[in-house]
């Protein structure tokens, strides 16, 4: 079968679930990744013949996409801050907003510092920090052993050295003091579930996303309690935050004695990040 015919079938089967523009973009991503074509070849390859094995793969992918599985899990990877990051359902798929948090740190913190990434998931934050500043000494913590295995793989494949810690931040104690703590902890309230899409709700780990409606700042508080002893004086905290809870985060930081508190919008104009000095 020709690639062009595969595309027609792909478009017609997915039309009930996805808008046309998204289907075209999914098809392009799949061809670039699986058929190993480059964007310029794609246009010239419509008459290329697709093998039986490749056809079977496209059919399987169509079923998974109709089931609203994220493309990053289907391909087992995504790109984050220019790096290849392996993805699987044990960790959140790295989001573009989080690249902005990494960028903020890299542009602001030029010194030789020790960093702890709390709730590292796929390791996207810690790996991209370590990769882009060789003077950082990076540790990364997660309660999920399977997420940490993934983060370790990503550190190895991107050739960076990270100290991994398998621990629950709600009860973790340590003697080590860090210069900087960064975290994108779970921050979505259960009440926000109804606004979320099936591809997130049905596939991404609950543990990485949700907090109780009556205590949405539980992780921020635990991190600040940990930082009481484990962040140096004048050390910095960088958080990714829930856009609806920026005031509460600010008050929490003030109550823990932090100053120079800055809130920052993401590229979509949502207050998504906080930075503060101890
Ligand atoms: C929102 S995800 C962030 C993942 C990754 N840092 C990112 O930005 O894509 C939150 C992470 O916190 C971890 N986590 C949840 N509860 C935790 C706990 N009690 N202690 C440590 N980590 C926890 C989850 O396993 C998940 O990997």
Give the start-to-end residue ranges of the domains of the chain.
Answer: 3-67, 81-277
| 192-228 tens-digit pLDDT | 998 899 999 999 999 999 999 999 999 999 999 999 9
- What pLDDT is stored for residue 198 in this prediction? 92
Q: How far is CA 201 from the centre of its chain?
A: 15
Closest residue to atom 26 of ligand 1, CA basis? 208
Q: Which residue has the tokens 């013949």?
A: 49
240 C-alpha to ligand 1 centroid (Å): 12
Residues above pLDDT 90, as percent of the chain: 89
Spatial strand order in the sheet of 271-277: 162-166, 137-142, 114-118, 178-183, 231-240, 271-277, 259-265
User: 35-39, 64-68, 71-75, 123-127: lowest mean pLDDT where?
Assistant: 35-39
CATH code at 81-277: 3.40.50.150
Q: Longest C-alpha distance within the chain, in Å? A: 66
User: 31-35, 81-85, 120-124, 252-256: lowest mean pLDDT where?
Assistant: 31-35
Cβ of 176: how many Cβ atoms within 10 Å?
A: 11
100 C-alpha to ligand 1 centroid (Å): 18
Closest residue to atom 12 of ligand 1, CA basis? 119
> Residue 50 — very low, low, confident or very high, per pLDDT cuts 50/70/90?
confident
Closest CA to 18 of 75, 80, 50, 64: 64
In the predicted model, is pLDDT for residue 145 greater than 90? Answer: yes
> Residue 154 — very low, low, confident or very high, per pLDDT cuts 50/70/90?
very high
Q: What is the mean pLDDT of residues 139-168?
A: 98
Test site for ligand 1: of 92, 165, 209, most ligand atoms within 8 A of the Cβ: 92
Q: Which residue has the tokens 């062009």?
A: 4
Closest residue to atom 9 of ligand 1, CA basis? 94
Check pocket membership of 128 for ligand 1, CB cut-off 6 A.
no
Closest residue to atom 27 of ligand 1, CA basis? 121
Structure tokens at 186: 């779970």
Check pocket membership of 186 for ligand 1, CB cut-off 6 A.
yes
228 C-alpha to ligand 1 centroid (Å): 20
- What pLDDT is stored for residue 42 in this prediction? 75
- What pLDDT is stored for residue 36 in this prediction? 79
Check pocket membership of 147 for ligand 1, CB cut-off 6 A.
yes
Cβ of 278: how many Cβ atoms within 10 Å?
A: 19
What are the helix (H) ranges across the chain? 3-14, 20-34, 39-44, 52-66, 71-75, 96-108, 124-132, 145-157, 198-201, 206-209, 218-230, 246-255
Check pocket membership of 94 for ligand 1, CB cut-off 6 A.
yes
Distance CA 245, CA 274 (A): 11
Q: Mean pLDDT over all residues of the chain?
A: 95
**Distances in Å between the alpha carbon of 215 and those of 17, 120, 218?**
35, 21, 6
Give 221's contacts (C-beta < 8 A, 6+ positions apart): 252
Closest residue to atom 8 of ligand 1, CA basis? 184
Stated pTM of the model: 0.95
| 84-124 tens-digit pLDDT | 999 999 999 999 999 999 999 999 999 999 999 999 999 99
In the predicted model, is pLDDT for residue 177 greater than 90? Answer: yes
């Amino acid at each position: 079968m020709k690639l062009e015919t595969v595309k027609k079938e792909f478009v017609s089967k997915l039309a009930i679930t996805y808008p046309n523009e998204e289907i075209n973009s999914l098809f392009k991503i799949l061809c670039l990744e699986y058929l190993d074509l480059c964007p310029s070849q794609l246009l010239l390859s419509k008459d290329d013949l697709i093998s039986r094995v490749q056809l079977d793969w496209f059919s399987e992918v169509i079923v998974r996409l109709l089931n609203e599985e994220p493309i990053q899990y289907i391909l087992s990877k995504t790109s984050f801050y220019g790096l290849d990051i392996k993805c699987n359902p044990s960790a959140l798929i790295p989001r573009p907003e989080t690249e902005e948090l990494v960028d903020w740190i890299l542009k602001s913190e030029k010194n030789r510092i020790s960093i702890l990434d709390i709730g590292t998931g796929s390791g996207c934050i810690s790996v991209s920090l370590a990769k882009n500043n060789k003077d950082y000494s990076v540790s990364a913590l997660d309660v999920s052993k399977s997420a940490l295995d993934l983060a370790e793989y990503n550190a190895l494949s991107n050739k960076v050295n990270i100290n991994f810690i398998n621990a629950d931040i709600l009860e973790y104690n340590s003697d080590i003091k860090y210069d900087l703590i960064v975290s994108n902890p779970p921050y979505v309230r259960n009440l926000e579930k109804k606004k979320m899409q099936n591809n997130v709700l049905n596939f991404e780990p609950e543990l990485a996303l949700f907090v109780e409606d009556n205590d949405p700042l539980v992780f921020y508080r635990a991190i600040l309690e940990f930082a009481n002893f484990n962040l140096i004086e004048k050390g910095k905290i960088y958080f990714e935050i829930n856009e609806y809870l920026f005031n509460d985060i600010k008050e929490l930081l003030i109550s823990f004695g932090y100053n120079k508190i800055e809130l920052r919008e993401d590229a979509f104009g949502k207050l998504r990040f906080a930075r503060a000095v101890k």
